[in-house]
Amino acid sequence: MSTVSGPANADQKATFGALRRAAVWGDPVAHSLSPVIHTAAYRSLGLTNWRYDRRQVTQTSFKESLGSLESVDDEQSWLGLSLTMPLKEVALAVAGDRVSELARSTGAANTLFRRATGQPWHADNTDVAGLVAAIIGNIALDAQGQATQTNGGINVEHCVLLGAGATARSALAALHLMGAQGVLVQCRRMHEGTARVAAELGMELDVADFGVWPGTVGVTVSTVPSKVGELAARTLPSASAQSRLIDVVYGSGVSPLMSTSSSRASKCCSIRLLTRSG
């Protein structure tokens, strides 16, 4: 998220409550490690007046839950939210025109932030830069803090994307930044928004059932639950040392897709994505 800042100065004391709060929202969300990561970051930065939690919020309860943040007491200020499934699309509506170009183009926001309680929310997408950094190990940013095209020497000629939802659209944008011109999407049903993003990026999109792989695999990004990924893992072909695999959805233990992948492939777990995207 982009809500973390230094301790308030004298001019900010009238704007912020004594306690600044942020959280990760989603459904399910109990498994999220974001509170652990953010709390550790706050502690490292000396931000003793910041607190980060988790809350189970559904699509239908999202607007009401967001509104409830305005009724908290003056001693605390809600300034940021990390959004996971299934809230990355509904979050765009509450931000109105205060949406970053990346969130707009992908139709998905994983971050809502604002300067103070009562002020409007802004939406952003940090998944794209986080994915690129997780896959190649580093990322170049322009003057505006946006990721620039780079692939770290990784083969992006044969990319495979598991899933076609909001996170998959961020993955498409990430692969495009890495120089990919086409992607094979394994899914049960192609999402209209995902097809739109591919078209706007000028990427060729092939669609197949789970478990249908090309003869050669370069970068694979899985955005589906472990049980679905297990279907694809059954026929996962051997990978080369130049191959990359990242499983975005995490739970307990190593996912079937990660454990099945060839030991020669470089594997990036979702924890690496979380720390890169914030």
- By annotation, the residues acting in catalysis are 88
- On whether the CB atoms of residues 194 and 172 are closer than 8 A, the answer is yes
As a whole number of angstroms, the distance between CA 135 and CA 115 comes to: 32
As a whole number of angstroms, the distance between CA 23 and CA 206 comes to: 37
Tell me the residue type at 136. Answer: I
- On whether the CB atoms of residues 191 and 168 are closer than 8 A, the answer is yes
As a whole number of angstroms, the distance between CA 264 and CA 241 comes to: 5
CA 29, 30, 33, 34: dihedral to nearest 10 degrees?
Answer: 50
Q: Which two tokens stand for residue 59?
A: 């699509």
Q: Which two tokens stand for residue 132?
A: 């690129």
As a whole number of angstroms, the distance between CA 114 and CA 142 comes to: 23
Residues 6+ apart with CB under 8 A from 125: 100, 102, 103, 106, 108, 109, 110, 111, 170
Radius of gyration of the chain (CA): 19
- Judging by beta carbons within 10 Å of its beta carbon (0-12, 13-18, 19+), is residue 20 exposed, middle or buried? buried
Q: Which two tokens stand for residue 106?
A: 């992908």
